[in-house]
């Protein structure tokens, strides 16, 4: 790649990197990154396209390296279309020529350069610190596992949480005011909007639903079709539409195969994996004591953002319960722990089981409305059976507006509105990472 062009791109991007975009809030992960700054490992930040990774890079640089001449580059720049792994040494030279602090690199969407991990490993071994972002889950596993083993820490960044959306709207959450009818009503109004609109930062800022359609298209075409060189875009779109229209349901890939007229179930499974790799969907396994049973059991499907799902899959007003469940899943996923669903005796299904290593640490059932006595009895019975089988004393039954404490023998079920659980009980750690 021509060094003059590379120099021009670096100078342009450095000015942008230093600028502070308007209406920016500090992400919840920023504070806990202090420990990562002190480590010699490369820090890999992965998440959905346009979910705030570039902004987090700027915040890291501003918070932890305020006086440095930042060595930063975003590979989304079309002028870097022909940048290859062989050009990294030229990039190092340009950074040095321009007086950059070459002990720390900030590389955005680095996965577009084949072989990037070889350069990073070589430089990490020399003592260089890296902060890397990418819009595919493979950045967390296959592409770095063999080259950067023991030399990296990984973080998943999600769209804004409900707490971050409140902060963006300058709405101060005060738990001491929850008893006030007017304050609680305003908070619930904000939560209802969050359920429908999700937390994609660009959409939260501008409110144009076309932004969500554009993000969805970018994920499909730039992160999946182009990356995997797919020829049948129609089939990919139909698989995505089916999965996004069935939030929280058990996914039947055989059914999808028939609907999209795929040649085999393997094709549908592969497309679902691509969608998960692009952070558009997540698949949740059944908690079982054998890996084989986990693999063959049906999976449940969730989406990275309620707003995207609303504009692509199905309408919010008719599926509020599914959107509530999706919001709970995303909050649990932010903790960095493993999330499963569970089937207790007599086929009683519990939406979420959270495991920390080999230990089950939480049970969560989601039900929009408990006014029907039969519904309440069914949900309580499922949690009670699961608590007995998994040896837990407490669990959560999360709703839109119900709140009470239910005791079953010596077990306790906390019935809470999701908005209150998100802000009080369900607060995730500021950052979660896997070495």
| pLDDT 10s digits, 167-181 | 999 999 999 999 999
Check pLDDT > 60 for residue 430.
Answer: no
Whether 65 contacts 176, CB under 8 Å? no
Q: Residue 374: CB partners within 8 Å, gap ≥ 6? A: none
Strand runs (DSSP E) across 109-266, as ranges? Answer: 129-134, 152-157, 250-251
Residue with tokens 């990418």: 134
Domains and CATH numbers, the chain: 3-157 (3.40.50.300), 322-429 (3.40.1350)
Is the per-residue pLDDT at 113 higher than 80?
A: yes
Please tell me the predicted confidence (pLDDT) of residue 317: 67
Query: What tens digit of pLDDT does each residue of 270-322 get?
Result: 999 999 999 999 999 999 888 888 878 889 999 999 999 999 876 666 789 99
Specify the pLDDT at position 210.
96
Q: Average pLDDT for residues 146-155, to the nearest whole number?
A: 80
CA dihedral of 62, 65, 71, 73, whole degrees rounded to 10: -30
Query: Element (H or E) spanning 322, and its range?
Result: helix 320-334
Decide: 301 and 283 in contact? Cβ < 8 Å: yes
Higher pLDDT, 435 or 142: 142
DSSP symbol at 1:
-
Pairing of strands 433-434, 281-284: unpaired
pLDDT band per the 50, 70, 90 thresholds, residue 433: very low
CA 337 – CA 172 distance, rounded (Å): 28
Give the model confidence (pLDDT) of 352-386 as tens digits: 999 998 899 999 999 999 999 999 999 999 999 99
Encoding tokens for residue 364? 């969560």
- H or E stretch covering 89: helix 88-97
- Per-residue pLDDT tens for 252-269? 888 889 888 888 989 999
User: What is the reported pTM?
Assistant: 0.92
DSSP for 332-344, please give it. HHHTTSEEEEEEE
Mean of all residue pLDDT scores within the chain: 91
Q: What is the pLDDT of residues 46-103, one digit of tens each?
A: 999 999 999 999 999 999 999 889 999 999 999 999 999 999 999 999 999 999 999 9
Q: What integer pLDDT is reported at residue 152 of this predicted model? A: 87
Q: Is the pLDDT of residue 432 over 50?
A: no
Residue 313 DSSP label: T
What per-residue confidence (pLDDT) applies to 143? 61
Share of the chain above pLDDT 90, in %: 74
Q: What is the pLDDT of residue 185?
A: 97
pLDDT of residue 409: 92
pLDDT in tens, 208-264: 999 999 999 999 999 999 888 988 899 999 999 999 988 999 988 888 898 888 889
* pLDDT, tens digit (0-9, with 9 covering 90-100), for 1-50: 899 999 999 999 998 898 866 678 999 989 878 889 989 999 999 999 99
Q: Which residue has the higher pLDDT, 336 or 280?
A: 280
């Amino acid at each position: 790649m021509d060094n003059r062009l590379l120099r021009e791109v670096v100078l342009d991007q450095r000015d942008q990197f230093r600028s502070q975009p308007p209406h920016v809030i500090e992400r919840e992960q920023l504070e806990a990154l202090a420990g990562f700054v002190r480590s010699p490992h490369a820090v890999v930040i992965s998440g959905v396209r346009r979910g705030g990774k570039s902004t987090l890079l700027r915040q890291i640089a501003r918070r932890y390296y305020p006086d440095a001449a930042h060595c930063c580059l975003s590979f989304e720049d079309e002028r870097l279309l022909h940048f290859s792994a062989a050009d990294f040494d030229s990039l190092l030279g340009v950074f040095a020529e321009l007086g950059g602090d070459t002990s720390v690199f900030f590389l955005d969407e680095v996965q577009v350069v084949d072989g990037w991990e070889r350069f990073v490993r070589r430089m990490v071994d020399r003592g260089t610190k890296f902060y890397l972002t990418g819009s595919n889950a493979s950045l967390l596993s296959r592409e770095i596992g063999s080259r950067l083993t023991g030399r990296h820490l990984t973080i998943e960044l999600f769209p804004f949480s409900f707490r971050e959306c409140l902060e963006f709207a300058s709405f101060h959450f005060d738990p001491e005011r929850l008893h006030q009818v007017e304050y609680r009503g305003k908070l619930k109004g904000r939560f209802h909007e969050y359920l429908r609109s999700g937390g994609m930062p660009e959409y939260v800022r501008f409110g144009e639903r076309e932004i969500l359609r554009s993000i969805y298209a970018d994920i499909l075409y730039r992160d999946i079709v182009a990356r995997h060189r797919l020829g049948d875009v129609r089939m990919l779109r139909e698989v995505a539409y089916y999965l996004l229209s069935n939030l929280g349901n058990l996914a039947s890939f055989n059914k999808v195969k028939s609907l999209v007229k795929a040649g085999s179930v393997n094709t549908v499974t592969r497309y679902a994996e691509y969608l998960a790799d692009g952070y558009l969907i997540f698949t949740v396994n059944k908690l079982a004591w054998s890996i084989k049973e986990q693999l063959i059991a049906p999976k449940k499907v969730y989406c990275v953002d309620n707003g995207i799902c609303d504009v692509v899959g199905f309408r919010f007003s008719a599926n509020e319960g599914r959107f509530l469940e999706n919001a709970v899943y995303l909050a649990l996923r932010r903790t960095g722990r493993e999330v499963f669903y569970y089937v207790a005796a007599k086929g009683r299904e519990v939406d979420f089981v959270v495991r920390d290593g080999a230990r089950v640490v939480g049970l969560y059932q989601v039900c929009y409305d408990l006014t029907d006595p039969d519904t309440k009895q069914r949900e309580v019975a499922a949690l009670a059976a699961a608590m007995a089988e998994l040896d837990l004393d407490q669990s959560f039954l999360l709703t839109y507006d119900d709140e009470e404490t239910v005791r079953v023998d010596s077990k306790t079920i906390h019935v809470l509105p999701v908005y209150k659980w998100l802000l009080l009980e369900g607060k995730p750690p500021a950052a979660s990472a896997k070495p």
